[in-house]
Amino acid sequence: MNAIAISCCNCGAPLEVGDDTKYVSCTHCNSRLIIERSDNAAHTKIIKQLEEKTNALCVQIRLLKLQRDLDRLETGAVVAQRYRRFQNQQQQECPAVVGLLITVLVCAILATAAIVGGSWGYLIVIGVITILVAFVQIVLHLDEENARRLRERKTQRTRWRRRDRLLAEIGRLQGRDKFHIFIH
């Protein structure tokens, strides 16, 4: 392999490159150069266009990644919403109804025993206990429901913040400083 002597077109520093070398970086000014050859001469050119195209491709790749993340976020939100609906149906149907039925059944058995035993005082106590147990179950169910709703809102707000950050970066990369923010 024969080496040829050329100079950097940016700073004029001497460079030695092989016969088949197409690209080189200047050791003095760090310019990236392309070597152009003719029949009897070789010279260098700065690779500006290549840098600009590379930067544009990097921006496009970043935009595609951000759009993919945004699509995943929205898809995840839809799946999570469907799962929550299914889970809510299951939770609403089972525990509250079953718990109340068990309470009523136990109280009915105790009331029957009190009536058979001839003690009406026990019947009144059992009625009050039944009402209290039903009230406690309703309060606990409402508390669980409120906690679930708070968790859902927190998750939704986190998702909205992530979505807003993605949209802001997409807008910035596309040359827009402003983007539409949906009111949450």
Tell me the per-residue pLDDT of 113-133, one tens digit each, with 9 for 90 and over. 767 776 666 667 777 777 777
Whole-number pLDDT of residue 94: 58
pLDDT (average), residues 97-118:
72
What are the extents of the domains in the chain?
3-46, 62-173
pLDDT band at residue 93 using 50, 70 and 90 as cut-offs: low
Mean per-residue pLDDT over the chain, rounded: 78
Task: Give the single-character DSSP code of 40.
Answer: S
pLDDT at 74 over 70: yes
Q: In 10 A of CB 177, how many CB atoms?
A: 7
CA pair distance 73, 166, nearest whole angstrom: 10
CA pair distance 113, 107, nearest whole angstrom: 10
CA pair distance 21, 99, nearest whole angstrom: 82
| Token output for 183 | 């009111």
Instruction: Name the more confident of 172 and 44.
Output: 172
Q: State the pTM of this model.
A: 0.45
CA pair distance 80, 155, nearest whole angstrom: 10
Q: In 10 A of CB 8, how many CB atoms?
A: 20
pLDDT band at residue 180 using 50, 70 and 90 as cut-offs: very low
Whole-number pLDDT of residue 65: 92
